[in-house]
Amino acid sequence: MRIEKIRLDEVKKTYGDIKALEDISLSLYQGELLCVAGLSGSGKSVLADIISGRTSKGRGRMYVDGRPAVFTSISQAQTAGIFCVRYRTSVINDISVEENLCLLQKQGCMSFPARQGIIRMRETLKTLEVDCRLQAPVASLSLMERHTIEICRAFCAGMKVLILDGIARDYTQKETEYMKRLVIRLKEKGISILWIDTRPEIMLDAADRLAVLRKGRLAAVLYREEFDRQMIDRIIIGENRKVGREIIRSQADPGGRGMLLSVREVRATELRDVSFHVCPGEVVGFIHPDDTYCREIVRLLSGELKVESGSAWLAGRQVELAGGRKNMVRYGFGYIEDYKKSLFPKLDVAENLTIAGLEYFAPGVGVREKLEQAVACDYLALLDIREEDLKRPIETLSHRCQLNVALYKWIIAKARLIVIDNLFSGTDILMRNSVREFLEFAKGRGIGVVYCSPNESELSSVCDRLYELAEGKVSCK
């Protein structure tokens, strides 16, 4: 017989006129891994906030261990054994791993950490098969290692229910697999786990059930034997919506087309005699044999590294790899990473689209506004935006529309080569499809792309060629 740890009964949550959650009825059982998926803005994090005491529910009822529960703070939820680990960690950088692990334990003496607390903490690490450097400063740890510390700390403090809210969006593939193994060990100890993510595919092989939220409502609850990727995608986006236009991936043929970007024997911080090239209409990615994020390449092409020797050429023009991104944009580089940080939320769509190419719209305020409007109208179909929305503040549009603006503004700015840095992070299926559509559009225009990500499977799905970066040198894969 399954033991119900948490039950939500017709829970609702509104923020003004916005219905964040509507009539959610859902149970989580002891020793179960329940995954929750949905598009951005579907209510996943609101669900986590209510269960973990971060925010109060509106209407409806919540039961913990069969008893009615109303949490008005995170500490109340933790007293009931419910802990939430979010993407942004709550560990303290200035103290050691050992001290962080003992923070939530009751101290029976004046010294910190107490001897009994240290013993309990080490037993926890052994039980969960977690190996970590106890005296290391937390600031030296990776994001996944910090999340692991939070989970072990919660286990030491009597955790019964663990909520993971979007923690894996910047993990490498190896880190994702490590976290899944840790979650499975927690299940075996009777811990109930709610794992929330926009990408159901990373969780399905470990999940017992999958709940799909859509526009604040519970669209479906599927059991393991019902998992089917195509069906899950249709449920997530809605039966009446298409995932996107059919994408026919073009195959770049470097032969005979010359080079768009050529980096020749560059020696800089953490890079030794690096050489690589990108052809027009080609997407090139970088991986590391140890599954480490190759962000040194992004920093090099952003003009952020001190270059000791070597050269770089873009479209036949020598590039000075210095002066930061503002200088590199003048050469014809464009940059896309966290799409929200590249937008001006209070400006309208047309202004955001054209701001990267401001020099092309400089004749005068009145003339510039007309040019902005005309150029923006040319891209309406690609942006999936209505003409009447062009003058709306971009912060009022959907996440997908904002992403599209962040992407296509570099086409309007006439960028020759675009550097993409971990763009899939935190995106849902519709947004990832928009990225793929953009890449095909850019390739069709002869624009080159350097694509960096901690996820090798993501790189393999979008890149024409991969370079391997090891010990500061690159080789073609």
- Give the whole-number percent of the chain exceeding pLDDT 90: 46
Residue 282 to residue 427: CA distance in whole angstroms: 23
Q: Higher-confidence residue: 53 or 238?
A: 53
* Structure confidence at residue 11 (pLDDT): 94
* Structure confidence at residue 367 (pLDDT): 43
* pLDDT band at residue 244 using 50, 70 and 90 as cut-offs: very low
- The answer to whether the CB of 395 falls within 8 A of the CB of 341 is no
Range 206-225 average pLDDT = 93
Most confident of 76-85, 140-149, 320-329, 380-389: 76-85
Range 67-81 average pLDDT = 94
What tens digit of pLDDT does each residue of 282-316 get?
A: 999 988 766 566 788 999 999 999 999 999 999 99
Q: Higher-confidence residue: 307 or 455?
A: 307
| Position 256 pLDDT exceeds 90 | no
Residue 57 to residue 21: CA distance in whole angstroms: 9
Instruction: Give SS3 for 419.
Output: strand
* Structure confidence at residue 106 (pLDDT): 57
> How many C-beta atoms surround the C-beta of residue 201 within 10 A?
14
The Cα-based distances of 285 to 58, 186, 294 in angstroms read: 46, 35, 9
* Structure confidence at residue 290 (pLDDT): 65
